[in-house]
A and B are shown apart, each in its own frame.
Chain A
Amino acid sequence: MEIPSIVGAGLIVIGAGMGIGRIGGSAMDAIARQPEASGKIQTAMLIAAALIEGIGFAALFAA
């Protein structure tokens, strides 16, 4: 039985979405606690999101 590759693609999207969603959530909590640090938090959030998306895309090409 062959698992179609589109199922793999769906799993990858779930994983990447959950990861980036968690980062966004904790970033928003942190900004709510300390609004003056929002610039640094935003930067760190973007870096983490880009790294996760990098893995997501690499896996998406394999699938």
Chain B
Amino acid sequence: MRSKLTIRLITLLFFLLPFLSMAGGEKGTETDIKSEIKAYIQHHLEDTYDFGLWSYTTDEGVHEYIGFPLPVILWDNGLQVFSSSKFHHGESVAQAGDANYKLDHGKIYKTDAEGTITYDETHHATNVKPLDFSITKNVFTIMIVSLLLFFVFSRMAKTYKTNSIPSGIGRILEPIVLYVRDDIAIPNIGKKHYKRYMSYLLTVFFFVWTINLLGLTPLGINVTNNIAVTFCLAMLTYLITTFTAKKDYWMHIFWMPGVPKLMRLVLAPIELLGTFIKPFSLMIRLYANITAGHIVLMSLIGLMFIFKSWLGSSLSFVLAFGLGILELLVAALQAYIFTMLSALYFGSAVEEHDHDHAH
């Protein structure tokens, strides 16, 4: 155990960190800092075709990137596979076979040899876009995270064969798994049917939590920032609810007992819309919470560079630090809420109650 003096010294040094944020504010005084920050934030929220860790501009004005390119897989009357390094970060036209492709605002378009892209009035490109199945940064991260979760949990499951007390990583994960079972699954789904849904609930919980936490690292991984990813998660919940629902569930939507018959006709479309809106809100909630948190965090860090003064920069740093701690809580909370609401929807799909009394 360290001595008290050491702990106090380390804490003091830690709180002096904000004053380092004054440094490095001289470069880029000619360009407009605010638009540069906006472009930076925009770039961070997008999905890129290579796994770029960071980039910097050397003194000669050359951009250097640290990272590795990912394969681009397109379906354009035939399969085209090439490495995304051919794009040179959006500067050159990639040639594969006899077709040319160019990156514009993060999307691949088919162009001619010079790379002309025609724009319409709303400044959207009107070139043809091939079907895109590439392994982008988000896809790559999802694959890595699923492999990681698979290996961690299968190792944990193996230790249960010999003794019932877990060892190793199971010691941390077992209380969490039991929490998901006892406090999320059983109260919402009921003791009779919860086992069928446990694998999905556990997967979604740990997956969303891990991905949210990874989004807070400086690697710039933003999987749940992508509305397509949260859309797929919400759609899985919707599909599971629809396909494992019992007769009572459909009765309650279309032909509710205990309600006068004319009212049932009026309420049925609303209830049907409700079944779509509930997973939709799941999607929006996860996406918006994480994206808004990232935008605010990056804006606060950018604020540090705008102020360039002794007091403003250090205060922004402290604020950004505090917000980062809050983001940790939000990561876990959003995973929990997603899982809890999914369990609630599954519970309403399989619950069976007696209809002796009018509802």
Chain B contact residues, majority secondary structure: helix
On whether the beta carbons of A55 and B281 are closer than 8 Å, the reply is yes
> B210 interface residue, CB < 8 Å from A?
no
Stretch of B59-67, B149-157, B285-293 with 4 or more beta carbons under 8 angstroms from chain A: B285-293
On whether the beta carbons of B337 and A46 are closer than 8 Å, the reply is yes
On whether the beta carbons of B284 and A57 are closer than 8 Å, the reply is yes
Complex CA distance for A57 and B340, rounded to whole angstroms: 19
On whether the beta carbons of B289 and A61 are closer than 8 Å, the reply is no
On whether the beta carbons of B183 and A43 are closer than 8 Å, the reply is yes
> A21 interface residue, CB < 8 Å from B?
no
On whether the beta carbons of B292 and A57 are closer than 8 Å, the reply is yes
Task: How many A-B residue pairs have C-beta atoms within 8 angstroms? Tell me.
Answer: 34
Encoded as 1 (CB less than 8 Å from any B CB) or 0, chain A from 41 to 63 comes to: 00100110011011101101100
Chain A contact residues, majority secondary structure: helix
On whether the beta carbons of A61 and B337 are closer than 8 Å, the reply is no
> Shortest CB–CB separation between residue B145 and chain A, in angstroms?
23
> B333 interface residue, CB < 8 Å from A?
yes
> Shortest CB–CB separation between residue B249 and chain A, in angstroms?
20
On chain B, the residues within 8 Å of A46 by CB distance are 333, 336-337
Number of interface residues of A (CB under 8 A): 12
Q: State which residues 176-212 of B face A: CB under 8 Å.
A: 183
On chain A, the residues within 8 Å of B288 by CB distance are 54, 57-58, 60-61
Complex CA distance for A48 and B285, rounded to whole angstroms: 13
On chain A, the residues within 8 Å of B284 by CB distance are 54, 57-58, 61
On whether the beta carbons of B183 and A57 are closer than 8 Å, the reply is no
Complex CA distance for A50 and B340, rounded to whole angstroms: 11
> Shortest CB–CB separation between residue B224 and chain A, in angstroms?
13
Encoded as 1 (CB less than 8 Å from any A CB) or 0, chain B from 264 to 307 comes to: 00000000000000000110110011001000000000000000
Binding site for B on A (CB under 8 A): 43, 46-47, 50-51, 53-55, 57-58, 60-61
Additional pairs, 7, CB under 8 Å, beyond known A47-B340, A50-B334, A57-B285? A46-B337, A53-B289, A54-B284, A57-B288, A57-B289, A58-B285, A60-B292
Can you report 21 residue pairs joining A to B where beta carbons are below 8 Å apart? A43-B183, A46-B333, A46-B337, A47-B337, A47-B340, A50-B285, A50-B333, A50-B334, A50-B337, A53-B285, A53-B289, A54-B281, A54-B284, A54-B285, A57-B284, A57-B289, A58-B285, A60-B288, A60-B292, A61-B284, A61-B288
